[in-house]
Amino acid sequence: MNPIAERQMTDDILRPVLETSSKFYLIVALLGTFVAAGIGTWFYQVYNGLGVTGDNWPVFWGFHETNFVFWIGISHAGTLISAILRMVDAGWRRPVTRCAEAITAFALMIGAMFPLIHLSRPWLAWWLIPYPSERQIWPNYRSPLAWDFFAINTYLTGSLLFLLLPMIPDFALVRDRTTGFRSRVYRALALGWTGTPKQWARLESAMHIMAIAIIPVAVSVHTIVSFDFSMAIVPMWHSTIFGPYFVAGAIFSGIAALIIAMAILRKVLRLENYLHPIHFQNLGKLLLTMSLLWGYFVFNERLTTWYGNQPHEMGVFWATQAGRYAPLFWTMVFCNFILPLPILSIRKLRTITGCVVASCGVVIGMWLERFLIIVPGLGHKPITFSWGTYTPQWVEIVIMAGSIAAMGLLYVLFSKVVPIISIWELKAGERELEHMRAHAETQTAAAEATAGELV
C-alpha cells in the first residue's frame, strides 16, 4: 500500500473525529432530548410507583422486560460476531469489527438499565451484590435474576475490554494528530502506545485471549436471560429450547442492528470507500443463515406445543396463534422470516438497501418475539379465572423511545471520540493483501522461470 493511499485512508476515517459540523450538535440535541424524556419518565415512575405502567395482575412483566431481553439480544451483534470473525481470520471483518463491538457495549449498557428500571424500589437494587453484611443475608443464588446480575456484569466487563483493546493503537494515532487538551486526553487513553513490536505482539495475544473468552460468555449470558423465563413453570415459558433459541435470536437481531448502524455510518460519515457492498452482502448472508435458524426454532417450539396438546399450554398457544396476539405473531413471522428470506437469498436484492430493509424487519420482528414470549404466557396461566391481558402505558413507551435514542446518542458520541473503523486493522489488512499479491507474483515468476529452465 503506498503511503499516499494510507494517508488518505487515515484522513478519511479520522475526519469525523477531528472535524465537527453543526449537524452533529443538532443530532446530539435531538437524541439528548429523547434520552432526557426517558430518564424523566423513569423518575416519574419511581416517584409514583409502578401503577403508572401497564403491568397488572396477572401480567406482572411487560414492556420493560421486553426491552431488557431485546437490548441484551442486540448486544450479541458485536462481540460475538467480531470474535468469531477474528478467530476464523475473515479478512472482510476488518472495517466492521469496531462498529459491532461498539453496538455490543452500548446495547449492553442500555439493556442492563432495564432490570433497574423495572424494579419498583430500585434504590434497593444493591441487595443483589454479595456484600458481607452483619445480618448475614446474601443474595439468593437460586434465583435466575441473581444469575442475570453476575452474567451481565461479566459480559459487560468482557465486551468493554474487547472494545477497548484494539482501540489503543488508534488512540495513539489521534494523539499524534491533535494538539493541546485533546492530545492529552488521547495520550492518557493510548496508555503509552508507541508501536514497538513487543507492544504489537502483546496486543495480538490479548485480542486472541479475549476473542476466545468472550464467545462462551456471550452464549451463556443470553442463555441465562432465557432462564428468567424457562426456569419458571409458566406455560410456554418452561421450555428446554429457550437457551439456544434466545442465543440464536440474539445474534439474529444483533446482525440486523449492525447492518443498520453500518449503513447509517457509511452515509453520514462518508465512508463509502471503506464499507463496501461486499461487507453488507456478507453480513446479509449471515443474517439469512440466522433467519433460517430462527424459523427452525419457532417451528420446533410451536409444533411440539401443538402436538403435545397440553391444556395449560394450548391457552397460550391459541392466544398467540389465532387470538388477541395473533396480529403481532404473524407480523413477527413476516418480519423475521418471510421478508428477509427472498431479499437476502436473491443476489440481485442483496444490495445495501435490501440488507437494510431486511434488517429493519428483523429488529422489529425480534422485539415482537421477546414481547410474545413474555406477555401471553403470563396472561394465560393454568387457572382460567385469572387470565388477563396487558396494554402498555405512555410511561413504558417513552422509556422505550428514550432507550432507542440513548443507543443513537451513545453511538454518535462514540464516533466523535473514536475512529469508527479500526485504522490499524484496515492497514494491516491492506498490507496482508499486498503481501499475498506480491507473494503470488514471485511464485508465478519462479514457476515461469522453472518452466523456462525445463524447456
Partner 1 sequence: MPHRWGMAADLDRCTGCEACVAACHAENNIPTVGADQSARGRAMHWIRIERYWEGEFPEVDLKFRPVLCQHCDNAPCEPVCPTYASSHNEEGLNAQVYNRCIGTRYCANACEYNVRFFNWNSPVWEKPLHLQLNPDVSVREVGVMEKCTFCIQRINAGKISAEADKRELKDGDIKPACVQSCTANALVFGDLNDPESAVSRLARSTRGYKLLEDLGTLPKITYLQRETWHESNS
CB of 91 to partner 1, least distance (A): 45
The nearer residue to partner 1, 50 or 409, going by C-beta atoms, is 50
Q: Is the dihedral of CA 49, 73, 330, 361 positive or negative?
A: positive
Nine-digit cell string for 16: 469525523
Binding partner 1 by CB under 8 A: which of 140, 157, 273, 442? 140
- Nearest approach in angstroms of CB 229 to partner 1 is 9
Q: Does 49 bind partner 1 (CB under 8 A)?
A: yes
Of positions 142, 198, 309, 454, contacts partner 1 by CB under 8 A: 142
DSSP 338: I
- For the chain, the residue count is 455
Read off the amino acid at residue 297: F
Which of 17, 35, 59, 412 is close enough to bind partner 1 by CB under 8 A? 59
Instruction: Classify residue 310 by its DSSP letter.
Output: -
- By CB under 8 A, name the one of 119, 268, 293, 413 that touches partner 1: 119
Question: In angstroms, what is the minimal distance from the CB of 44 to partner 1?
Answer: 13
Q: Which is nearer to partner 1, 56 or 220 (CB)?
A: 56
Least distance (Å) between residue 327 CB and partner 1: 22
Q: In whole angstroms, how close is the CB of 314 to partner 1 at the nearest point? A: 15
The count of C-alpha atoms lying within 13 angstroms of the C-alpha of 364, restricted to the half-sphere facing its C-beta, is: 17
* Helices 78-87 + 97-118 axis angle, to 10: 150
Least distance CB 387 / partner 1 (angstroms) = 9
Distance, CA of 256 to CA of 283 (rounded, Å): 9
CA torsion angle for 143, 147, 153, 158 (degrees, to 10)? 180
Q: Does 233 bind partner 1 (CB under 8 A)?
A: yes
Of 23 and 135, CB closest to partner 1? 135
Distance in Å from the first CA to the final CA of the chain: 36
Identify which range of 117-125, 240-248, 274-282, 322-330 contacts partner 1 by CB under 8 A.
117-125
Contact assessment for residue 344 and residue 354, using Cβ atoms and an 8 Å cutoff: yes
CB of 130 to partner 1, least distance (A): 11
Of 56, 183, 345, 351, the one binding partner 1 by CB under 8 A: 56
Q: Which residues from 145-174 bind partner 1, rule CB under 8 A?
A: 145-146, 149
How many Cα neighbours within 13 Å face the side chain of 360? Answer: 7
- Is 112 a binder of partner 1 (CB under 8 A)? no
Do 279 and 96 meet the contact criterion of CB atoms below 8 Å apart? yes
The residue (of 143 and 442) whose beta carbon lies closer to partner 1 is 143
Closest CA to 340 of 289, 301, 296: 289
CA pair distance 234, 250, nearest whole angstrom: 22
Q: Nearest Cα to 323, choosing from 374, 389, 242? A: 389
CA 212 distance to own-chain centroid: 18
Contact status: 313 vs partner 1 (CB under 8 A): no
Q: Which three cell numbers stand for residue 339?
A: 421478508
Which of 234, 286, 405, 423 touches partner 1 (CB under 8 A)? 234
Contact set for partner 1, span 368-427 (CB under 8 A): 378, 381-383, 385-386, 388
Select 8 or 48, whichever has its Cβ closest to partner 1: 48
Nearest to 114 by CA among 76, 149, 159, 154: 149
Cell numbers given for 62: 411487560
Q: Which stretch binds partner 1 (CB under 8 A): 216-224, 228-236, 351-359, 421-429?
A: 228-236
Residues that bind partner 1 (CB under 8 A): 48-51, 55-61, 115, 118-122, 124-125, 127-128, 137, 139-140, 142-146, 149, 228, 231-234, 378, 381-383, 385-386, 388
